[in-house]
Amino acid sequence: MTATLERLQPKDYASDQEVRWCPGCGDYAILKAVQKALADLGARRENTVFVSGIGCAARFPYYLSTYGFHTIHGRAPAIATGVKLANPGLDVWVVTGDGDCLSIGGNHTLHVLRRNVDLQILLFNNEIYGLTKGQYSPTSRRGTRSPSTPQGSIDNPVSACAFALGAGGRFVARAVDTQQAQLVDVLKRAHGHRGASFVEIFQNCVVYNDGAFDHFTEKSVASDQQLFVEHGKPLVFGREKKRGLRLDAKNLALEVIDVGGNGVSAEVLVHDEKNRTLATMLAALEPPEFPVALGVLYCDPAPAFEAEVYAQVAAAGQATSDLNGLLRKDRTWRV
């Protein structure tokens, strides 16, 4: 007789710990979306691990009834890699912030992406250091006034998705904290991808950077300033889908065009999530001239790092069963 596993609900993934973020923090919405995604996926709590670094986002493992590690600043990808290599059967998620991931942790993030370790990496981007009281971060825009840049930041910000694509990431996506349906769908897509999945989540910090994304998330402008990409579908947006993206072949750049009355135009590009060049161009779009591209920008699977490591170990084990032959392989000498 085969035992039937109980189907868990989103609330079953909540721990007994008091959730302690600032009232109105976008992290609450992300936590809710993750719990919903885990329930939809039928994830087993004993088989799931959340690994975080340092920052407001790093509290995540405490609030989930799964295994978890609250690690050190920027090192979550490295520790998560160790977890996955030690037990490839575990479902491992990395939770990090824009400072944790792209500043002190930038090197670790780069290598986990290029190696294609089978992890879901969730980057909470609020364009500020929230836990340490509002200093500017790698994603803060030029002119950002903060305790560390009182006259305005003169740094050029890092584009998280452009960074992930440049590092060789095979799955790169974007979502907004408050758009629950789209966020849950993106999380489930990331989970289904074998290899490193990188998801940038625009998350509001109500205390130190409130309204940082209002220019494309406010209801009054959202339809004109957001483009939801879907593989095989035209890149159209606007209240009635009357605007679209076309490739300016002369300048090798995207441009916005008005779409015909029927909402269809042969000039409008169709999203191909296996096209890295297109994904890079979409990641670079900025309001007000262009909409912000949301959804799965790029997905082109390749063998996962830990699978190849274990295959290599198995092959080496078969090749070295003859210890005497191994000792005399290649060059030898007498002393």
Q: Is 179 exposed, middle or buried (0-12, 13-18, 19+ CB in 10 A)?
A: buried
Residue appearing with tokens 């950077």: 209
Domain range annotation of the chain = 10-212+303-307
DSSP code, position 102: I
Task: Please write the tens of the pLDDT for every residue from 141-186.
Answer: 999 999 999 999 999 999 999 999 999 999 999 999 999 999 999 9
Task: Identify the H or E element spanning 30.
Answer: helix 26-41
Interatomic CA distance for residues 186 and 15, integer angstroms = 23
Q: Check pLDDT > 90 for residue 315.
A: no
- Cα-based torsion angle of the residue sequence 119, 80, 46, 188 in order, rounded to the nearest 10 degrees: -20
Q: What is the pLDDT of residues 209-226, one digit of tens each?
A: 999 999 999 999 999 999
What is the value of pTM for the model shown?
A: 0.93
| Residue 74 in this model has a pLDDT that exceeds 70 | yes
Cα separation, 50 vs 31, in Å, equals: 12
Q: How far apart are CA 53 and CA 71, in angstroms?
A: 5
Domain 10-212+303-307 is found in CATH 2.60.40.10: no
Task: Note the pLDDT tens digit of each residue in 246-304.
Answer: 999 899 999 999 997 665 688 999 999 999 999 999 999 999 999 999 999 999 999 99
Give the helix/strand (H/E) hosting 92. strand 91-97
Q: What is the spatial distance between Cα 201 and Cα 261, in angstroms, rounded to a whole number?
A: 34
3-state secondary structure 242-310: CEEEEEECCCCEEEEEECCCCCCCCCCCECCCCCHHHHHHHHCCCCCCCCEEEEEEEECCCCCHHHHHH
